[in-house]
Amino acid sequence: MSVPEPYSSLERMREPSNPTLLVFTLGATRERARRALVPGRLQELEIGLRESCLDATLAAGRERGCRLEVSSPAPISLPADATNVPQPGSGFGDRLEWAMLDAFGRGAAPLIVVGTDAPGLASRHLERALALLDEDANRVVLGPSPDGGFYLLAARRPIDGLASSVRWCGRETLRDLLTVLRAQGRSVELLEPLADLDRPADLERWLARGAGEDEGRWRGLIRLLRAAFADLNRPLPTCHPELPGAPLARLAGRSPPVPPSL
């Protein structure tokens, strides 16, 4: 991984090749701080999971031949073929709208925007989105998530009202976005749903069912996370291993209570 340099005007003005995959993220550490998936003692494993999700997302775009851009509030370490772009703004909608307008302003069309919390994302999802955009330049393609959000947004031109007309990061997000798009006369196509990792329960379900067709990429990390959770859930001993029947109080340096005399 290369060490990122500060954003430069020359980098931002460089003509992108088409299509462009814009990965929208806070960075692994800040994503973890915003919405933790595991207890604090496992935070390094979670950061590793989030970094692996970014790597897998970039690999999907690379396989499809996309120009790779990562929009984040501060530059993060990226492979040599990916570019950091800024992510100013206050709320999520404001930051997303700015990032998309900035990308379109640099000629990035078609544009595919994805996050880093859907480990099932693959190049075939990008391929399908681009094929749908080729059929209709006015179309918007969305990849829905079961929690009411979306994991992918693809378009050939800007979408008005993203910042102000959508209730972001909730169960109403996809519904609001569909309403906005249809009010603007934009046709919409939905891809297959993909689960994202927003809550601890999402991670538990993903670990329970495995990574499906992309199991090889995730096998080692899934094994580590499963083992870590198994260790967390293992019941505490109630007896000293060498003294059967000795209560747990003795392990804390206290003598067991003296039973009342008969």
**How sure is the predictor about 257, in pLDDT bands with cuts at 50, 70 and 90?**
very low
pLDDT tens per residue, range 214-231: 667 788 888 888 898 888
User: What pTM did the predictor assign?
Assistant: 0.81
Average pLDDT over residues 46-71: 96
Residue 104 has pLDDT above 80, yes or no: yes
Residue 4 has pLDDT above 60, yes or no: no
Confidence (pLDDT) at 242 = 52
Residue 78: φ, ψ to 5°:
-135, 160
Domain 9-196 has CATH 3.90.550.10: yes
Residues with Cβ within 8 Å of residue 236, at least 6 apart in sequence: 248
Confidence (pLDDT) at 90 = 84
Cα angle at 62 between 92 and 48, to 5 degrees?
Answer: 60
Confidence (pLDDT) at 236 = 54
Please state which of the ranges 74-78, 142-146, 157-161, 241-245 shows the lowest mean pLDDT.
Answer: 241-245
Average pLDDT over residues 109-120: 95
| Helical packing angle, 200-209 and 215-233, nearest 10° | 120
Strand-pairing partners, residue 144, are 150
Confidence (pLDDT) at 163 = 86
Residue 68: φ, ψ to 5°:
-105, 120
pLDDT tens per residue, range 172-204: 999 999 999 999 999 999 999 999 999 999 999
**Residue 38 CA from chain centroid, whole number:** 15
